[in-house]
Amino acid sequence: MDIRYSCSPRDFQRYNTEETRAEFLIENLFTPGEVVAVYSHVDRMVALGIMPAGEPLPIDKGIDVWKNFGTDYFLERRECGLFNVGGAGKVNVDGQVYPLDYKDCLYITRGARSVTFESDDLAKPAKFYLVSAPAHTRYENKLIRIADAAKKPCGSAETSNQRVINQFIHPDVLKTCQLSMGMTVLAPGSVWNTMPAHTHERRMEIYFYFEVPDDQVVFHFMGQGDQTRHIVMTNEQAVISPSWSIHAGAGTSNYTFIWAMGGENQAFDDMDNIATPDLK
C-alpha cells in the first residue's frame, strides 16, 4: 500500500512539479489481477483500483490490514463506495452478489468481512474504482445504477462548464457515515469543472478523471486560491485534494470525473467560494 502523508499549504507553496505529482497524484490505479491501494493521511481516506483478471479478487489482496489499519479485516471500521469504469463485473459482499455495469455504483457499509470482485468477460475486464473512509456506525449496502442516480444539471455552454452532476452516495440518496461520492459528466464542448473554485475546510476530496481521450489531458488546479498550482493528468488517474485546496480542472476535451468526499459533515452547500477574478 502506498502511504501519502499530509502537507501544509505553507510547505506546498515551495513544491516543484515532481514533488506535487508525487504527493497528490495517483497515476496507475489498474493492474490486471491486482489491488492497487493508496492510503492518504488526509482524513485517512483510501483510494483503490481493482481489475479482476481471473479468479475472484479480494479487496485486501496485497494489503497487510493489521499493519496498515490495526484491524482484523479491511472494512471492520470503514465504509466504501465503488464505481465500475470498465466492462461488466460483479461484487460479492458476504455472499450477496451485486452485478455492476459501466458507471454503476455500490455502497458497502462498515463491517463487511468478505468482499471479492470478478469480471464477466476477461477480454473486457471490469475496473472497480473505490474510495474508503473511516466509519463509526453501520448502514445498509446499496447498489445504485447510473439510471437511478439523482441528476443535477448545471453550468452553461457559454462558460464552457455545462455538466450533469450524478449524485450516488449522497444524503439525498442513502445514509452513510461520512462518505459521499458522485459522478460529473461534462457536455461536449465543455471543459471546466467545479467553477467557481472553492474550498471546504471541513472536508477533503479525491477526484478520479476518466473518459479522457488518449491524446488529451486534464489540467487539475489545486492549492490555496491565491497560490494555485496545476497537475497535468491523463485518463484513469486520481488526485488527492486537502481541505485547504481548491479542486478544479480544465480539459483539452470534455471528460467525466468521480468525486469522493469525507470529513466533518455532508453539507454540500458548506463551501467557501472564491471569486474567479480573485484566483492567482
160-169 confidence digits (pLDDT tens): 999 999 999 9
Report whether pLDDT(204) > 90: yes
pLDDT for 80-107, tens place per residue?
999 999 999 999 999 999 999 999 999 9
Query: How close are the terminal C-alpha atoms of the chain, in Å?
Result: 35
Give the CATH H-level superfamily of domain 9-278: Jelly Rolls (2.60.120.10)
Confidence of residue 194 (pLDDT cuts 50, 70, 90): confident
Residue 264: what pLDDT? 79
pLDDT at 267 over 80: no
**Does the pLDDT at position 155 exceed 90?**
yes
Q: Tell me the sheet residues that pair with 250.
A: 192, 219
Mean pLDDT taken over the chain: 95
pTM: 0.96
User: All 3 cell numbers of residue 266?
Assistant: 455532508
Where along the chain do its domains lie? 9-278
pLDDT at 37 over 90: yes
Q: Using the predicted structure, report yes or no on whether residue 172 has a pLDDT greater than 90.
A: no
At residue 171 the predicted structure's pLDDT band, cuts being 50, 70 and 90, is confident
Q: Which residue has the higher pLDDT, 116 or 197?
A: 116
